[in-house]
């Protein structure tokens, strides 16, 4: 009986390979960073070969761990940075251009033209997304129009498009499989999340030849087997999901109303809405949470641009502390009702404000404000922004978010997690494992390979390392949050009309 599942976690700045045992414990981990490229203002690119080599290298490294041999590995799950767009030659597998990363803004003008022409309602109704350079469709259109001969070759069926998962599957299977899963497809702006298929009207709108597109499979499915030359033998690829959806699955958020929030450079909060694709009145995204046996489970997602990046700025820009570990002790020195507010609108404000022209500020300074108060305000900003998303989701959803499961680098800070519970007024649960995203991909593969019988069995493996319960009274909670809303209003480029009533 096999002992491990191999999870490939291909991220924005590094690739990791992790071997998990049957209980969901990470046994061996390898990680390699790769270079980011910024060829023009607002442009972000990756070398596809650097992505491929980092993935191949980390997989080979963990498989060479002491006491591990290929026969012990049941199969592979893949999770990936979402929306990043690649175009390659079907005959050779060679890419035609660097990968255009999800953060890239080069198609901003094209998106504005589409919005001005009145197309956003159609896009939103079909895909659950907003027209934005963030998603893949306009990136792919740019490649077809700006790489010499690409559009003509695409029309002849010579080229293939994919997000990072699709590119890795193509490479690992030596070009035998051109496929993605429903979660990654749902982030392209070309996929009808209701009918679960590529949408011909959207393909016409974005001028994308259908022959470029991969087959869309379940998140737990047969994605072919690796060619023996890559890892020393054939391993089935059996689970695929975009990184935030993989984290939702890894957190075992399988019931409507269950949600997770990941606190890294930014913050992504996703709540399971079940078999209903609930539309947001507050400009949040409706997306596919996962798809099993042909049945999609939907989710609502809110993105905060800046979370951990605030603390990096306080550390590296203002030099208020040397190490992030110091922030917990500093924050604990402040009074319970810290009325200093740091609005981290360094690149504008994300959901639910969507105000790219807003800029950051620190407000409420008094003569006795010190480093501790400013650091606490930076941490509290993460919690206030999560409350923004919670308010919107409660307004949007029939199953309001309950307890929140958290992951990401920031959640080791106990003071922050307690304030988060206080500000949300709900229980905040920190899991035993911190490798949640990669674990979600492993679980999806394990379902297909028969390691796990059903979602109930996987849910039974989840356990909390610590639970944080609200300890703040509702009056103080609402007073502090009202102060945050006032601070945000002061940095907005236009009057606020888009928050739900409280």
The alpha carbon of residue 358 and the mean position of all alpha carbons in its chain are separated, in whole angstroms, by 23
Q: What is the CATH number of the domain that holds 258?
A: 3.30.420.40
Q: Is residue 319 domain-shared with residue 195, that is, in the same domain?
A: no
d(CA 178, CA 229): 19
Domain end call among 183, 209, 243: 243
Q: Is residue 69 domain-shared with residue 218, that is, in the same domain?
A: yes
The span from the first CA to the last CA of the chain, in angstroms, equals: 54
Q: What are phi and psi of 115, to 5 degrees?
A: -65, -45
pLDDT of 2 > 70? The answer is: yes
pLDDT at 500: 42
pLDDT of 498 > 80? The answer is: no
CB 407 within 8 A of CB 281: no
CB 368 within 8 A of CB 376: no
Q: How far is CA 351 from CA 127, 257, 267, in A?
A: 17, 19, 10
Q: Closest Cα to residue 297, out of 200, 181, 199, 396? A: 181
CB 442 within 8 A of CB 461: no
pLDDT at 95: 95
Residue 462 lies in a domain: no
- State which residues form the domain around 373: 252-427+472-493
Domain end call among 243, 264, 293: 243
Q: Is residue 239 domain-shared with residue 257, that is, in the same domain?
A: no
Residue 434 lies in a domain: no
How much of the chain, in percent, has pLDDT values that exceed 90? 72
Q: Is residue 224 domain-shared with residue 258, that is, in the same domain?
A: no
pLDDT of 501 > 50? The answer is: no
45-59, 248-262, 334-348, range with the lowest pLDDT: 334-348
pLDDT at 1: 67
Q: Is residue 72 domain-shared with residue 132, that is, in the same domain?
A: yes
CB 173 within 8 A of CB 227: yes
Banded model confidence at residue 399, pLDDT cuts 50, 70, 90? low
Residue 64 lies in a domain: yes
Q: Is residue 193 domain-shared with residue 300, that is, in the same domain?
A: no
Q: Is residue 92 domain-shared with residue 114, that is, in the same domain?
A: yes
Cβ-count burial of 348 within 10 angstroms (0-12 exposed, 13-18 middle, 19+ buried)? Answer: middle
Split into its structural domains, the chain has a count of 2
Tokens found for residue 233: 């033998």
Partners of 295 in beta bridges? 292
How much of the chain, in percent, has pLDDT values that exceed 70? 97
Residue 269 lies in a domain: yes
Q: Is residue 391 domain-shared with residue 336, that is, in the same domain?
A: yes
CB 444 within 8 A of CB 297: no
Residue 500 lies in a domain: no
Q: Is residue 285 domain-shared with residue 233, that is, in the same domain?
A: no
Q: Is residue 191 domain-shared with residue 261, that is, in the same domain?
A: no
- Average pLDDT, stretch 63-76? 93
22-31, 32-41, 125-134, range with the lowest pLDDT: 32-41
6-15, 75-84, 353-362, 452-461, range with the lowest pLDDT: 353-362
Match 């992790």 to its residue by tokens.
18
Q: Is residue 146 domain-shared with residue 293, that is, in the same domain?
A: no
d(CA 133, CA 131): 7
d(CA 344, CA 79): 29
What is the chain's mean pLDDT, rounded?
Answer: 91
d(CA 270, CA 289): 8
Residue 432 lies in a domain: no
Partners of 86 in beta bridges? 162
Match 């993605």 to its residue by tokens.
180
- In the three-class reduction of DSSP (H, G, I as helix; E, B as strand; rest coil), residue 457 is classed as helix
pLDDT of 495 > 70? The answer is: no
Domain end call among 243, 269, 300: 243
Q: Is residue 362 domain-shared with residue 407, that is, in the same domain?
A: yes
Residue 199 lies in a domain: yes
d(CA 108, CA 134): 9
Banded model confidence at residue 86, pLDDT cuts 50, 70, 90? very high
Residue 304 lies in a domain: yes
Banded model confidence at residue 400, pLDDT cuts 50, 70, 90? low
Q: Which tens digit of pLDDT belongs to each residue from 270-292? A: 999 999 898 888 889 999 999 99
pLDDT of 502 > 70? The answer is: no
pLDDT of 489 > 50? The answer is: yes
d(CA 349, CA 228): 47
pLDDT at 497: 46
Q: Closest Cα to residue 198, out of 388, 102, 184? A: 184
d(CA 232, CA 234): 7
d(CA 390, CA 401): 7
């Amino acid at each position: 009986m096999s002992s491990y599942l191999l999870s490939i976690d291909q991220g924005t700045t590094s690739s990791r390979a992790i071997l998990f045992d049957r209980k969901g414990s990470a046994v061996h981990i390898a990680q390699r960073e790769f270079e980011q490229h910024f060829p023009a203002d607002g442009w972000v690119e990756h070398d596809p070969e650097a992505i491929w080599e980092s993935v191949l290298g980390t997989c080979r490294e963990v498989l060479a761990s002491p006491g591990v041999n290929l026969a012990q590995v049941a199969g592979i799950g893949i999770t990936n940075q979402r929306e990043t767009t690649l175009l390659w030659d079907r005959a050779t597998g060679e890419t035609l251009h660097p990968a255009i990363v999800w953060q890239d803004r080069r198609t901003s003008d094209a998106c504005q033209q589409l919005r001005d022409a009145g197309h956003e309602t159609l896009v939103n109704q079909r895909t659950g997304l907003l027209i934005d350079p963030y998603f893949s469709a306009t990136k792919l259109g740019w490649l077809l129009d700006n790489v010499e001969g690409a559009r003509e070759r695409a029309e002849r069926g010579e080229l293939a498009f994919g997000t990072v998962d699709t590119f890795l599957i193509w490479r690992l299977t030596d070009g035998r499989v051109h496929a993605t899963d429903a979660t990654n497809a749902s982030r392209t702006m070309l996929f009808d999340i209701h009918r679960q298929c590529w949408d011909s009207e959207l393909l016409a709108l974005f001028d994308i030849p259908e022959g470029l597109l991969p087959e869309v499979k379940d998140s737990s499915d047969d994605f072919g087997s690796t060619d023996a030359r890559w890892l020393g033998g054939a391993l089935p690829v059996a689970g695929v999901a975009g990184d935030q959806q993989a984290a939702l699955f890894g957190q075992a958020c399988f019931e409507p109303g269950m949600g997770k929030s990941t606190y890294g450079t930014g913050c992504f909060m996703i709540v399971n809405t079940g078999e209903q694709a609930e539309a947001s009145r507050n400009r949040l995204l409706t997306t596919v949470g996962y798809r099993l046996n042909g049945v999609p489970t939907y989710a609502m997602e809110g993105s905060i641009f800046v979370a951990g990046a605030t603390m990096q700025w306080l550390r590296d820009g203002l030099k208020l502390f040397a190490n992030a570990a110091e922030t917990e002790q500093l924050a604990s020195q402040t009074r319970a009702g810290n009325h200093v507010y740091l609005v981290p609108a360094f690149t504008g404000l994300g959901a639910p404000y969507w105000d790219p022209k807003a800029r950051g500020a620190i407000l409420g300074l008094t003569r006795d404000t010190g480093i501790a108060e400013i650091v606490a305000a930076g941490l509290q900003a993460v919690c206030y922004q999560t409350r923004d998303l919670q308010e919107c989701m409660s307004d949007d959803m029939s199953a309001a978010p309950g307890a929140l499961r958290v992951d990401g680098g920031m959640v080791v800070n106990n003071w922050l997690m307690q304030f988060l519970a206080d500000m949300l007024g709900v229980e905040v649960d920190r899991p035993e494992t911190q490798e949640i995203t990669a674990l979600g991909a492993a679980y999806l593969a394990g379902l297909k390979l028969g390691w796990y019988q059903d979602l109930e069995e996987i849910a039974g493996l989840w356990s909390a390392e610590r639970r944080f319960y609200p300890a703040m009274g509702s009056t103080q909670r609402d007073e502090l949050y009202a102060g945050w809303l006032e601070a945000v209003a002061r940095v907005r480029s236009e009057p606020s009309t888009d928050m739900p009533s409280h």
